[in-house]
Amino acid sequence: MSRARQWCGSVAFTLYLCVSAGAYSLLLLPTVLLPRRVTYAAAVSWARSVLFMLRWLCRLDYVVEGLEHLPATTSIVLVKHSSAWETVAQLRIFPGQTWVLKRELIWIPVFGWVLRNLKPIAIDRKAGRTAVQRVLDQGRQRLAEGIWVVIFPEGTRVPAGETRRYGMSGALLAEAAGLPVVPVAHNAGDYWPRRSWLKRPGTIRVVIGPVIPTAGVDPRLVTERTQRWIEDTVAMLRAP
């Protein structure tokens, strides 16, 4: 595919992403009066359509390795955050879930109202310990309801090839709930770069690692092990 065609496909996809997010939000607005599972099923359907259009318009697909590492029980997943891609794809990869996200998202008219029905853990990222306590309190509630909790430990998108200090809320939640953490690495940032319209063709690789135990382990050490595994795996995926 020529660069011009790739740009055209990327622009068309971005327009679809924006328009479909708004359209689905309007269509789903009545579901806020219904059980969460109804809204969630529709959100998964939207994610499926986005990934289909990405494959069709941009020739960008994905594969998942390590699915055998996913626990049979409700879990905490810590995912590398280098692209917008994983915010969509996680709906297709992991079981019924919710997410730790910045509270400003639930303030968006219509979209935020629908998002609120999916029971996210909305935090003020500047709140420090208060934000962590909110993750612990609401995270345990979600897990008790059978909902997986997905966290981006870096807190924000980081350009491909870079990293930042991982937050400890995921490890603390796992310790409090008596569960291990599931580390997830991928190279989506190389294909769908941060703040870029251009989507590069290829196949994104997602690697789900072996669970990292938390029982009897200092949460700081759990976080360090998680970061080391994720970053080492991302480096391997990015190697020529």
How many CB atoms are located within 10 Å of the residue 229 CB?
A: 18
Q: Which of 27-36, 125-134, 177-186 has the highest mean pLDDT?
A: 177-186
Report the pLDDT value the prediction gives residue 1, as an integer from 0 to 100.
Answer: 55
Say how far apart CA 83 and CA 89 lie, in whole Å. 11
Q: Mind listing the pLDDT tens digit for each residue in 49-87? A: 999 999 999 999 999 999 999 999 999 999 999 999 999
Q: Mind listing the pLDDT tens digit for each residue in 27-49? A: 999 998 899 999 999 999 999 99
Between 4 and 90, where is the model more confident? 90
What architecture does CATH give domain 3-238?
3-Layer(aba) Sandwich (3.40)
Question: What's this model's pTM, rounded to 2 decimal places?
Answer: 0.94
Report the pLDDT value the prediction gives residue 240, as an integer from 0 to 100.
Answer: 72
Q: What are the boundaries of each domain within the chain? A: 3-238
Kindly tell me the number of DSSP H helices and DSSP E strands found in the chain: 7, 7
Report the pLDDT value the prediction gives residue 194, as an integer from 0 to 100.
Answer: 85
Q: Mind listing the pLDDT tens digit for each residue in 81-96? A: 999 999 999 999 999 9
Say how far apart CA 174 and CA 169 lie, in whole Å. 8
Measured between alpha carbons, how far is residue 120 from residues 105, 130, 141 in Å? 10, 16, 11
